[in-house]
Amino acid sequence: MLKVLAHPDYARLFAAQVIALTGTGLLTVGLGLLAYDLAADRAGAVLGTAFAIKMVAYVGLAPVAGAVAGLLPRKAVLIGADLVRAAAALCLPFVDAVWQIYALIFVLQAASATFTPTFQAIIPDVLPVEADYTRALSLSRIAYDLESLASPALAGALLLVISYHGLFAGTVVGFACSAALVWRTRIPGAVSSTGHGFAQRLTRGMRIYLATPRCRGLLALNLTAAAAGAFVIVNTVVVVRSGYGAGEAGVAVALAAFGAGSMAVALALPRLLDRLADRGVMMVAGAVISGLIMALSAVMAGGVPDWWVLLGFWAALGAGYSAVLTPMGRLLRRSAGAADRPALFAAQFALSHVCWLLTYPLAGALGQAWGMAPALAVLTVVALAGVWAAWRVWPPEQSVIAHRHDDLPKDHPHLAEHPPRGGHHAHVFTIDDLHPVWPGRGAFPKVSAPRS
């Protein structure tokens, strides 16, 4: 897996991701402790609202940022977003009211809504070979897990010598270093999507995403992963500090257990995906997540479990979470051409966070109002709904699909590239201007609409 780091440009981008996410991990721990200081037992609800604001920024701004970013150099977009995030984090140590948390979280996450999908869309261009890209996805998953493993461990060590306000300085340093590494990286120029105005670019990714069965299935499984992830992120600080009477280091250990499970699966996935289809792996993982939170709800109905049992649940949930989300980039890469890929990644970023926009407030509000076991029971229903929807909308698929283009002239370049046989032809199918709908059932369905 580490051989992919021999590519110097990817190595710099990966280092930028690791450093920025380490800073984000420090931010997560510090934010939880800041919320507890300002709101005490209402910390879960405060964090739930803060993360809901984060999701609003992601959902509302990612498509707009994607459309605007398509007009600007991608390197400048990444560096500018990093500097805005660093400035917002720099203000957090001076917060003394809950509303200030909400305002700064919105600014910081608005910048992330610009940075993350742009960053994700660059990686397939830097690593065009699918085997390399698959391993890069696993490394990226591991980098994300540093937020819940290495970063909390580092936070626990730092908290022995500094207050949690000092963690926000680490966040600022992380974003600044990320910007410096991106500045030193050679990033391929974007493929221009010609003939599309701003309004078309704004909705194009969403239209491609929602017209592609594998992407609709991915969205449904994102809901399942979010049901478990939201409970862990929002309620760990409450469960650990109120349920076990543990301190700040205990919160870091619990989050690290979730990250350890996720990293273990991310390391195993490249070889597994060489032999098994993405759909099967992700569907099984979604079912496992649903079963785990159902079992945890039953356990917590009788009170908090033994500490090591809780850590075991957190690690298992992290493993299922990683198995659902790590193959995401492979699905998106094969669902659009190079020109449409940034818009598709932005659509995934926005639509997947709609799931978090639902589950974050549920996890926080229900945990505070009803208790942890009933909150988990409701989230189990949400997770099972995601698995069921994915099974319905994402059938076993073929990448090469036969279809007809009755409305295209016989000398059209597309037909010259893929010559028809018996009135139809076949190729790797993606939604684009010539293929606006996914082929339905039936022999060689027509997919192109009449054109003026």
Task: Show the tokens assigned to 398.
Answer: 């073929």
In the chain, where are the structural domains located? Answer: 2-393, 398-452
Q: Does domain 2-393 have CATH number 1.10.10.350?
A: no
Average pLDDT over residues 3-24: 85
107-136 tens-digit pLDDT: 888 888 888 888 888 888 888 887 888 888
What pLDDT is recorded for position 201?
64
Average pLDDT over residues 379-406: 90
Position 4 confidence tier, pLDDT thresholds 50, 70, 90: confident
62-103 tens-digit pLDDT: 777 666 666 678 888 899 989 998 998 888 888 877 788 888
